[in-house]
Structure 1
Amino acid sequence: MSISDSSSSGEEENEEYERFHHLRLSLIGRRLAEGASSRRQTTSRRHIDRERVECNRRLMRDYFDPNPVHNARIFRRRYRMQPRLFHRIMGDIVRFDPSFSLRRDSFGQLSLSPEQKLTGAMRMLAYGSPADQLDEYVRMGESTLMEVFRKFCNNIINMYGATYLRAPTPADLRILLRKASSRGFPGMIGSIDCMHWEWRNCPSGWAGQYTGHMHRPTIILEAVASYNTWIWHAFFGTPGSNNDINVLGMSPVFDRIVNGSAPHVRFEVNGHAYDQCYYLADGIYPSWSTLVKTFSNPRSNKEALFAQHQ
């Protein structure tokens, strides 16, 4: 075979390879296009006219008009707050997150009102209702309401967390200590206790670890509250099979004392000086200097008086 024949054969092979390569790319491109088209077809959303505007009118008549159908007592029961607090939260959240404001959607229709969005999210929190169940009243699809619910919870934390989810400052401690001292408890800065929240929809596979003395699945909340019901500490999510002592072992309530970052205070009781505050607690808690327990079975008038005041 001559050199020219060899060169011609090589060029034909290169052309054949290029044709094959372009064909392969074309097939890949077509499959990708078919896949994208198929996904668009399967994920296309049919517009459902949920009559949002009429729903909003009904909601306004029920709760938000000057003379609503339901009074403030019913509003408080269903929203877990007074109307004035609802309006404060709604105003704050609309300014913080414009997606909660009244706008027009991609179909040119008016979107859900802030009242509808907050009502849906708050009903889920208040009653534990599934998102799909609320569609009949607030006219929101399940996926839409779940998105609103997640945004609502995140926005509440971001807006108010620094104010309401914080440890007491030295100025706060001075107020707490002064108030406690006037009530006969110098050095006391709050009461600590645990409560069980029933988990009605707990998965059956988890029910064992979340079931304790309540005989039904619960989640434990450990909280510290002061005289004015301000919650200074909240530790939530421990399985209900635990008790107050187990929760205390996992809780960060005393972390600032352990790592030395707690504010320094000083008070006196019966002529003795102390530099650590304490919480009032019930009898199940350990005998620590930062916990003052009540007398379950008082044996003297002094113990009975202390238990009564605590």
Structure 2
Amino acid sequence: MLAYGVTADFMDEYLKIGETTTLRSLKMFVKTVVSIFFEEYLRKPNNDDIARLLVVGEKRGFPGMLGSIDCMHWKEKNCPTAWHGMYSGHIHEPTIILEAVAYYDLWIWHAFFGLPGSHNDINVLDRSFIFSDLAKGLILTINYTINGHNYVMRYYLADGIYPQWATFVKTISTPQGNKKKYFVAAQESARKDVERVFGVLQARFAIIRGRARFFHIETLNDIMMACVILHNTIIEDERADNEEEEFEYEQLTESTHDPVSTDPTPEFNEFSQRHHALRDRKIHCQLQADLVEHLWQQYSAS
């Protein structure tokens, strides 16, 4: 049912297992997968993970980048008629939204699922927990330099709908000049990592490519999280040795981007300062301009 998206009564004809038993087994299976493997395969990046991601991001022309962020809609078949307006958005069908952060190797580092399809990506971001630890000071800080300017905040590549925050690097809608055009091509190429993840996830698990047949949101959440966890286990198993050699993971300890740990600071003033810092538009614009120059310098040197 997860891999091929078949219905429960199909199992009765093919495997001689009753529909009720099949549905119960599926629910127990996905719940068990989430409870056992969530901490390992949907964990937040640790020190080693951050160091590896920063090294690879710098090689791709984006120092300080930790992935790409976007949302995917899962169509819902059994949505009650009274809820259609709440769950229908630009797709004009009832859907449930998955927000994800992914990287070049298709590993999903963040998954937030369950909001109705009438929300856009900004609404999902406001309810997501992706930056909650950063605002609370419970997350690792990083230090890197681009075009002579120092930065201490990680960022993600995003499309045009996301706000102008210091934690996002977006494309330029109407680029003028070769520098900005090259930046747009590089940014949109790297940002496609998360789009590829959604395609691979749906290809591997047809149950989320088709329409969701279950009614309770708790069951749908377990199914989606289980598929994400199983996807990450496959990615871990299929990592090729030549990719490790290409990005020189064995030299991570020599990286200049080693993360620096910060102690929790629960004071409200410091929380407010961090909250405003991650939403700073000036840093967003400066970071984008520095990356334009940085990528152009790399292109000219090559």
**The TM-score by the shorter chain falls in which range?**
0.5 to 0.7
Higher relative contact order (CA 8 A, sep 6+): 2
Say which SS state the counterpart of residue 85 (structure 2) adopts.
coil
Higher mean alpha-carbon deviation, 134-143 vs 251-260, is at 134-143
Corresponding residue for residue 5 of structure 1: none
Corresponding residue for residue 163 of structure 2: 286
Instruction: Give the 5 Å matches for 1:136-285.
Output: 136-285=13-162
**CA deviation after TM superposition for structure 1 residue 158, in Å:** 2.7
**CA deviation after TM superposition for structure 1 residue 133, in Å:** 4.1
**CA deviation after TM superposition for structure 1 residue 215, in Å:** 1.0
Runs of 4+ in 1 over 4 A off after TM superposition: none
Distance of 2:98 and 2:171 partners within structure 1: 21
Corresponding residue for residue 69 of structure 1: none
- Counterpart of 2:26 in structure 1: which amino acid? F
**CA deviation after TM superposition for structure 1 residue 130, in Å:** 4.1
Corresponding residue for residue 131 of structure 1: 8
> Could you report, residue by residue, the CA deviation over 1:39-85 in whole angstroms, capped at 9, with x for unpaired residues?
xxxxxxxxxxxxxxxxxxxxxxxxxxxxxxxxxxxxxxxxxxxxxxx
Distance of 2:2 and 2:103 partners within structure 1: 26
Distance of 2:131 and 2:10 partners within structure 1: 42
**RMSD of equivalent CA atoms:** 1.4
**CA deviation after TM superposition for structure 1 residue 168, in Å:** 0.3
Distance of 1:197 and 1:298 partners within structure 2: 33
- Counterpart of 2:167 in structure 1: which amino acid? T
Corresponding residue for residue 122 of structure 1: 2
Distance of 1:204 and 1:131 partners within structure 2: 23
**CA deviation after TM superposition for structure 1 residue 204, in Å:** 1.7
Rg comparison, structure with higher value: 1
Say which SS state the counterpart of residue 122 (structure 1) adopts.
coil
In structure 2, the gaps of 5 or more residues are 188-302
Distance of 1:198 and 1:290 partners within structure 2: 30
Q: TM-score, normalised by structure 1?
A: 0.58
Distance of 2:130 and 2:14 partners within structure 1: 41
Tell me the matched-pair count: 187
Distance of 2:15 and 2:81 partners within structure 1: 30
> Could you report, residue by residue, the CA deviation over 1:81-138 in whole angstroms, capped at 9, with x for unpaired residues?
xxxxxxxxxxxxxxxxxxxxxxxxxxxxxxxxxxxxxxxx435xx42x4423431112
Distance of 2:74 and 2:183 partners within structure 1: 30
Distance of 1:293 and 1:122 partners within structure 2: 34
> Could you report, residue by residue, the CA deviation over 1:130-160 in whole angstroms, capped at 9, with x for unpaired residues?
4234311121112211221111101211332
Distance of 2:122 and 2:67 partners within structure 1: 18
Distance of 1:164 and 1:300 partners within structure 2: 42
Distance of 1:177 and 1:209 partners within structure 2: 39
- Counterpart of 2:125 in structure 1: which amino acid? L
Q: TM-score, normalised by structure 2?
A: 0.59
Distance of 1:204 and 1:132 partners within structure 2: 25
Say which SS state the counterpart of residue 202 (structure 1) adopts.
coil
Distance of 1:293 and 1:172 partners within structure 2: 23
Distance of 1:308 and 1:166 partners within structure 2: 31
> Could you report, residue by residue, the CA deviation over 1:195-242 in whole angstroms, capped at 9, with x for unpaired residues?
111112322221111111111111111100011111000011111111
Say which SS state the counterpart of residue 63 (structure 2) adopts.
coil
Question: Equivalent pairs: percent with the same residue?
Answer: 50
- Counterpart of 1:122 in structure 2: which amino acid? L
